[in-house]
Amino acid sequence: MNDSTTETIFEPDLPIIDPHHHLWDLRPLLPSFPAPRHPFLESIAGAPYYTFNELLADTQSGHNVIGTVFMECGAFYDAARDDAMKPVGEVEYVNGVAAQGASGLYGEYRPCAGIIGHADMMLGDGAREVLEALVAAGNGRFRGIRHQGAWDADPDVLGPPFHAPEGLLRDDTFRKGVAQLHGMGLSFDAWVLEPQLRDVVDLAKAFPEMPICLDHCGTPLNIASYKGKLEENFDRWASSIRELAQCDNVMVKLGGLAMVNCGMPEEGPAKGYGSEELAAMWRPYIETCIEAFGSDRAMFESNYPVDRWGATYPVLWNAFKRITADYSDSEKAALYAGNAARFYKVEHLLG
């Protein structure tokens, strides 16, 4: 393995908008994590807090990250509100981070220029009140929600943090909530596992005008009962990706493959893999996604600090840049910044 701290930054001037990262403080919660910890819990425990200072250090560590989009993660909920409204606290917190960045103290860098929060779509028509509160809390930065639907019959695939029921994205009540989201001109981020990808296809066809982004290349699995089956399941994954790409309202995020669930690499967190090794692991998935969706409907993401399991922040982006080394300047501009700016409505970051 290479020493990941010594890599030269590739294409250091290429503008990047990181469209998927989290902010959290898990330190008060760590004692409640069940023992033995699920590998996912073990991986995020390696980054027990990730707030403005940590984000700033990573995004300004050599690559030209000009701005970011925050992705909900169930952090900083407002304990004083009822359950439906608790997620508004997360958006309020993140908007403060965005305001800190917008102060100009850190140059032109704009963290959390777009904010994706959470509203429970199982509220059905009642989701609108929550969405309106999220929009107000975002102060012009709120762009949409993620209601994660990751599920598998094997509970060891995801572990205790995730409790989505089977078939959530197909549920009639859930879709009443999505209709409220769509009616307000907001977007939906979909996180499901590889065997569930056709649920996203079905949702996209039900709401053909609503912008949907598939997270993490559709989350191919190399954990628990899927351990060692990446190659066996690749064609099934690729077929689902190509089917989803036929839905013009869907974009795909290129990343998330360093999550412990994907097992690329299997060892972590941050065991020192170099970008050349990581690029070799990730290339078949990323190239398949780009071939299916085109360079105008795909965007690279860090998924930090979750993907810290497999890569330091500088090495992660170096791995992506190795994969796109032969792409045209216009393709790179779209994949690393332009598509994220358009989907999350943060075009002002591009000047």
Q: 0.95 exceeded by the pTM?
A: yes
Residue 2 is predicted with a pLDDT of 40
From CA 37, how far away is CA 229, in angstroms rounded? 23
Report the sign of the C-alpha dihedral through residues 147, 165, 310, 214, in that order. Answer: negative
Q: Closest Cα partner for 289 from 223, 222, 335?
A: 335
Residue 4 is predicted with a pLDDT of 46
Residue 159 is predicted with a pLDDT of 87
Residue 131 is predicted with a pLDDT of 98
Contact by Cβ (8 Å): 335, 327: yes
Q: In what order do the strands lie in the sheet with 298-300?
A: 15-21, 64-71, 110-117, 142-146, 187-190, 212-214, 250-254, 298-300
pLDDT single digits (tens) 102-140: 999 999 999 999 999 999 999 999 999 999 999 999 999
Residue 29 is predicted with a pLDDT of 86
Contact by Cβ (8 Å): 72, 145: yes
Q: Does domain 15-350 have CATH number 3.20.20.140?
A: yes
- Tens digit of pLDDT at every position of the chain (351 positions): 344 456 999 999 999 999 999 999 999 988 888 777 888 988 888 889 999 999 999 999 999 999 999 999 999 999 999 999 999 999 999 999 999 999 999 999 999 999 999 999 999 999 999 999 999 999 999 999 999 999 999 999 998 888 899 999 999 999 999 999 999 999 999 999 999 999 999 999 999 999 999 999 999 999 999 999 999 999 999 999 999 999 999 999 999 999 999 999 998 877 889 999 999 999 999 999 999 999 999 999 999 999 999 999 999 999 999 999 999 999 999 999 999 999 999 999 998
Contact by Cβ (8 Å): 315, 61: no
Residue 132 is predicted with a pLDDT of 98
Q: So where are the chain's domains?
A: 15-350
Residue 44 is predicted with a pLDDT of 85
Contact by Cβ (8 Å): 304, 257: no
